[in-house]
Amino acid sequence: MIDSCCRIIMRRNSVAFLISACVALAATACSGDSQLDRGAGAGSATLPAQDAHPSGPDSSGLPAEGALSRVPIGDLAGANDNTLETTVKSPYAGNAAAIAEGHELFEKMNCAACHGYGMKGGMGPDLTDSYWRYGGAPADIYKSIFEGRPQGMPSWGRALTPTLIWKIVAYIETKGGAVSAVAADRERQGDESESDTTAGSTMKGRNSAP
């Protein structure tokens, strides 16, 4: 188990640090975790069968990649009753052990260096407010981590397993910035929440020092 986990990570980054990171990750993430399938990162052949509206986490406890692939980044033209992404639940939401692992990963994988140890932003955006360029529902956050985003967010889909990414999502959710799938849906259609004071700012969060 440890071997397979670390091979996945080291494929991309054969750097000395990651050997120690792998040991750390193995202790937390790989033990007792049989769900290491690579989803889209390993090619579409491994995708599970897709339902039109998947009903929730698959048999391994995680949402099907097929469901995630249909969570849109932008608006859904003409969809006045879009419930697609509300069916993708965050599998570790509220799970204290998973959140602790997510916290550790958030710092070890350098998420904190960009987004801040308190997630208040830096090189990367604030994750504690309600404005999300690419959506703030758990499935949106998962996809942003997995796929990367155009302004420098690396794609972690090949370095981290879905399980580990979902644990990071669970940790991000604890900081209050993540929004419910319903709210995310509303934002996507232009009806942003009243508390949002930073909508439209793609510049926010760039407040780190040289």
Partner 1 sequence: MKITAIIAISFVLLACGNREDAGRVTADEPRPRDARVNNVEALSGSWLPPGAGAGDWAMPSRDYAGTRYSPLTEITTANAGQMQLAWTFQDGQSSYGHEMTPLVADSTMYIVSPFPDRAFALDLTKPGAPLKWSYSPNPSPIAIGKACCDAVLRGAALYKKKLIYNLLDDHTVAVDAKTGKELWRTKLGNVEDGATMTMAPLVVDGRVYVGNSGGEMGVAGWFAALDVNSGKELWRAYSVGPDSLARIGADFHPFYSWMRGKDLGATTWPTNAWKRGAGAPWGWVTYDPDRHSIYYGTSNTGPWNEAQRPGLNLWTSGVFARRASDGMAQWAFVFTPHNEWDYDGVNENILADLPINGVVRKVMVQFNRNGFAYTIDRATGEVLQAKPFGHENWASGIDSVTGMPHVIPAKETVPPGRWVRDICPADVGVKDFEPSAYSPRTRLFYVTTQNICMDYKGREASYIAGTPYWGAQMTRHVGPGGNYGEFIAFDAATGRKVWGIPEPFMTYSGAMVTAGDVAFYGTVDGWFRAVNARTGEILWSRKLGSGIISAPMSYIAPDGHQYVAIATGVGGGAMTTSSQKGFPPRGDTYYVFTLGANIPSTPARGGATPPASSATGAMP
Query: Of 105, 109, 89, which is closest to residue 167 (Cα–Cα)?
Result: 105
Nearer to partner 1, 75 or 107 (CB): 107
Nearer to partner 1, 79 or 113 (CB): 113
Q: What whole-number distance in Å separates Cα of residue 29 and Cα of residue 166?
A: 11
CB of 149 to partner 1, least distance (A): 8
Nearer to partner 1, 15 or 49 (CB): 15
Nearer to partner 1, 113 or 182 (CB): 113
Q: What whole-number distance in Å separates Cα of residue 38 and Cα of residue 44?
A: 10
CB of 124 to partner 1, least distance (A): 6
CB of 150 to partner 1, least distance (A): 5
Q: What whole-number distance in Å separates Cα of residue 91 and Cα of residue 170?
A: 8
State the residues that interact with partner 1 by CB under 8 A: 13, 15-18, 21, 107-110, 112-114, 117, 123-124, 149-154, 159, 203, 206-210
HSE value, Cβ hemisphere, 13 Å, CA-based, for 143: 24
CB of 46 to partner 1, least distance (A): 25
Q: How many CB atoms lie within 10 A of CB 73?
A: 13
